[in-house]
Amino acid sequence: MNFLRKKDSSVPIPAPGTEFSIEKSAEIPVLPDFARKSDIDVKYPLIKPYSYAHIHWDEEEKEVVYELIEPPISQKERDILESLEKGLEELINISFINIKEESAVISYLEKNSKVLLSELGLKLPKDIFMKLMYYIYRDFVGLNLIESLMHDQHIEDIECNGVNTPLYIVHRKYRNLKTNILFSENEKLMSFVEKLAQKCGKYISYANPILDGRLPDKSRVNATYTQDISSGGPTFTIRIFTTEPWSPIKLIDVKTASPELLAYLWMLIEYESNIMIIGGTGTGKTSFLNSIAFFMPPQARIVSIEDTHELNLLHTNWLPSVSREATGVGGSNNLGEVSLFTLLKASFRQRPDYVIVGEIRGQEAYILFQGAASGHPTISTMHAEDVETMIRRLETPPINLPPSLVETIDAVCVMSQSKIYGNEVRRLKNITEIIRVSSTSLEKNTPFVWDPKTDRFFFKKESHIFKKLQTEYGMTGEQIQKEFERRTLLLWQMYKRGISGYREVHEIISAYYKTPSEVLKKFNIK
């Protein structure tokens, strides 16, 4: 079954003076829910008109699999392709040309492929030549066997555990899936890992066998090079980030959060509360942070600091910063390093209204919490399964924060990955308000909690932070409750009307800050 929703008109990427072209981001797959895994059978395009994803139940393996469908190629065509690729490699090494020059590279490839075919005395039908050009494009311009996967907007991670083992992907809808892709030769996998390193602008070798880098499209890469490091041969993991951030309405759509919960966070962010988002690996902490950042006032000065650039905000007064590793040249291990700590110290001289830190791990936490204590609202993420674990991490080495600084956190969002009716889901497990922290005790309040049995969110109307707003901003309890209800209804109306695009949602939230009565009138909210 094909499930497609038009987002834009088809966007072919042509090369000047050439026949070969591909289409990227022409359609966004809308994938349905299935009552049983054995019923799953969906197909959608990746690089039109050449490659497709087919996700279906494999009766023999008794699992859902991800099958990459590419143009079939005969042995004769494969021999011609190998001859063309060898000829192109002898002409020029173009594997690592900057992706910005893609059209020029495609033009070069096509023209020289035709010259090589002429020299070989071969004349191919147009459809065969276009098919071979796809494979040449894939192997020279793209990322070889996984190039099509890089265009699947539903893939979060691509995982290779070594030679002669199938690649796995983490699908945003159907989670962990085995693919029909594998590297059958150790040398080819080593060469591919080298290509990944060079695409990241880095170097990997026997002497330096671990790679951490970022591809031109901002995907994050971790790879190993030798069997000394990983017994199965070279490995790699690629984290692919969505081209568009998920709006708060999208979180409602996938049931990660409820309108009430998001309206509560909206009020906390507007009134400059300090929020920590915690959870295990893969629970969606950064995606959730990006979504609730929509609630920051449109004119606010926002400074974000990350190890890898993952956040994507539409605020015009946003200053994104990314740390940089040391070069290690000349025996100096920190030469050229720009750490999170350094960036965070500098950020407080940039007059931020909000400070976002992608993830805190070490000494940068002290600067962040000092800033929070001095009146700079902050939002950050941290690896911790629950609030108690988070506080232990903050109060022990290498962070070593005193309880008085930990207490500056107003609310903690606990993200979780769970299973509902056999399907893996991400949920905001609870929101916990921090009331008081001492060396021996923790006083907290939990206004929101998710019930896994019913897959519903429950709201305990007594909120410590809402009471705090009354004291600090002179608001009455009735005013706070009314505003909370209005924002809940506004988010719910956007969801009911299918308004979930990140630009649309951002515009409505921005308009609410400027002319709330007009926005409420538009959505028939009193």
pTM, to two decimals? 0.81
Confidence band, pLDDT 50/70/90 cuts, at residue 10: very low
Predicted confidence at residue 18, as pLDDT, reads 66
pLDDT one-digit tens code per residue, 424-473: 889 999 999 999 999 889 999 999 999 999 999 999 878 999 999 999 99
Domains of the chain: 75-145 (no CATH), 248-325+336-522 (3.40.50.300)
d(CA 447, CA 470): 17
Query: Looking at residue 105, what is its pLDDT?
Result: 80
Is the pLDDT at 15 greater than 70? The verdict is: no
| Distance in angstroms (rounded) separating the CA atoms of residues 145 and 239 | 16
Between strands 175-179 and 168-171, the pairing is antiparallel
Number of H helices, E strands in the chain: 15, 22
In sign, the C-alpha dihedral spanning 246, 25, 309, 206 is positive
With 90 as the cut, is the pLDDT of residue 421 above it? Answer: no
Q: Rounded to whole angstroms, how far apart are CA atoms 117 and 428? A: 58
* Residue 124: per-residue pLDDT: 92
Mean model confidence pLDDT for the chain:
89
Residue type, 7: K
Predicted pLDDT of residue 13: 46
Residue 526, classified by CB atoms within 10 Å of its CB into exposed (0-12), middle (13-18) or buried (19+), is exposed
**Structure confidence by residue, pLDDT tens digits, 222-271:** 999 988 888 889 999 999 987 778 999 999 999 999 999 999 999 999 99
